[in-house]
Amino acid sequence: MPEPILLTPGPLTTTRRTKEAMLQDWGSWDQDFNALTAGVCARLTDIVGGADSHVCVPLQGSGTFAVEAALGTLVPVDGKVLVPNNGAYCQRVVRILNTLGRSCVVLPFGEDEPADPVRIARALADDPTITHVAQVHCETGTGILNPLPAIAEAVASQGRSLIVDAMSTFGLIPIDAARMPFDAVIAASGKCLEGVPGMGFVIARRVALEEAAGRCHSLALDLHDQWRYMQRTGQWRFTPPTHVLAALHEALDQYREEGGPPARLGRYARNCQALVAGMRALGLRTFLEDRFQAPVIVTFHAPTDPAYCFEELYARVKARGFILYPGKLTRVDTFRVGCIGAIDTRQIHAAVAAVGEALADMGVRHPANASGEAHP
């Protein structure tokens, strides 16, 4: 069975070179591996221009582990977090805060509407007891891009701290520590950097992290302890994801060779445009307005033709070599297609053709949602 192309927001399609970097074993105590960790952390910090003010703390696990670690370490027990909510990953932040017993205020937005910096500033002005804002940059549940620079400005103007879940934008959409104040930016190995999954990391403001000593509810998720131990010994506290780190190192080399953030953004933007144009030509409609769409993952309305069923579309498209992603919306029937990973418009065109063939084979005749005509 040939390897499928993953059109999902992580794990995603990686290059052969990145996969081959995992063919070597590493000792966790070994000098060479410690140097690999330090080098990767320095490069991750550089991506957001944080070398003077921020530190990178890597953490074993998927991205959510790093989100939970950042919230549990950086938000004090008597802190209060505002969560602008326009989707599933924002709701996950709320769930983490509830689990940790941290107060939280939800500022609701529509799932097709970006978080509004003006409403965020007003909510902060109205409640001086709010200490932090936890903002998801691209809400991967739909693919909507939240206006992070303006939100960061609103949060800073109200004198509060900002924690950013930049999982699906890190390395893609610029974040600049020198111009955008934040206490933490959280991301992971297996998204836009095109590594394999298994490692999260937090770019934390050094002073904020120093102040967090002994605060975390958890030993394994204590970012301050992880950072201090790594500073002292050069090693991870517990068994490191050695192969994941080696793959990320190799992926970062390719990221640089490709041309860094502008090149990656250009490639993903072309993927996204080709995907949206191709699917519209099939009669499918996007959930978001184009101006709010991040070039990360696109949500499409499910066809209303009774012959349509996501599981069958999935199976038929998989048989043609592509892996789709189910929708994550509760009220509207949708499915999602990612445009990130080691793919370009050739794979996107082939994937669109596969979707078109699959829908035709299923007998789906009116792909457009009943509430609107198909875009030409």
Residues that bind ligand PLP (CB under 6 A): 9-10, 62-64, 67, 89, 136, 140, 165, 167-168, 188
Rounded-to-integer distance, Cα 187 and Cα 201, Å: 6
Looking at the Cβ atoms of 33 and 68, the one nearer to ligand PLP is 68
- Work out how close the CB of 168 gets to ligand PLP at its nearest, in angstroms, rounded to a whole number: 4
Looking at the Cβ atoms of 111 and 165, the one nearer to ligand PLP is 165
- Work out how close the CB of 297 gets to ligand PLP at its nearest, in angstroms, rounded to a whole number: 8
- Work out how close the CB of 65 gets to ligand PLP at its nearest, in angstroms, rounded to a whole number: 7
Rounded-to-integer distance, Cα 12 and Cα 5, Å: 8
Looking at the Cβ atoms of 171 and 367, the one nearer to ligand PLP is 171
- Work out how close the CB of 331 gets to ligand PLP at its nearest, in angstroms, rounded to a whole number: 20
Looking at the Cβ atoms of 10 and 278, the one nearer to ligand PLP is 10
- Work out how close the CB of 67 gets to ligand PLP at its nearest, in angstroms, rounded to a whole number: 6
- Work out how close the CB of 316 gets to ligand PLP at its nearest, in angstroms, rounded to a whole number: 26
Rounded-to-integer distance, Cα 35 and Cα 331, Å: 49
Return the closest-CA partner of residue 168 out of 62, 73, 59.
Answer: 62
- Work out how close the CB of 59 gets to ligand PLP at its nearest, in angstroms, rounded to a whole number: 11
- Work out how close the CB of 330 gets to ligand PLP at its nearest, in angstroms, rounded to a whole number: 17
Looking at the Cβ atoms of 12 and 56, the one nearer to ligand PLP is 12
Three-state SS for the chain is CCCCEECCCCCCCCCHHHHHHHHCCCCCCCHHHHHHHHHHHHHHHHHCCCCCCEEEEEEECCHHHHHHHHHHHHCCCCCEEEEEECCHHHHHHHHHHHHHCCEEEEEECCCCCCCCHHHHHHHHHHCCCCCEEEEECEECCCCEECCHHHHHHHHHHCCCEEEEECCCCCCCCCCCCCCCCCCEEEEECCCCCCCCCCEEEEEEEHHHHHCCCCCCCCCCCCHHHHHHHHHHHCCCCCCCCHHHHHHHHHHHHHHHHHCHHHHHHHHHHHHHHHHHHHHHHCCCCECCCHHHECCCEEEEECCCCCCCCHHHHHHHHHHCCEECEECCCCCCCEEEEECCCCCCHHHHHHHHHHHHHHHHHHCCCCCCCCCCCCCC
Looking at the Cβ atoms of 145 and 368, the one nearer to ligand PLP is 145
Nearest to ligand PLP by Cβ — which residue? 63
Looking at the Cβ atoms of 298 and 354, the one nearer to ligand PLP is 298
Looking at the Cβ atoms of 106 and 350, the one nearer to ligand PLP is 106
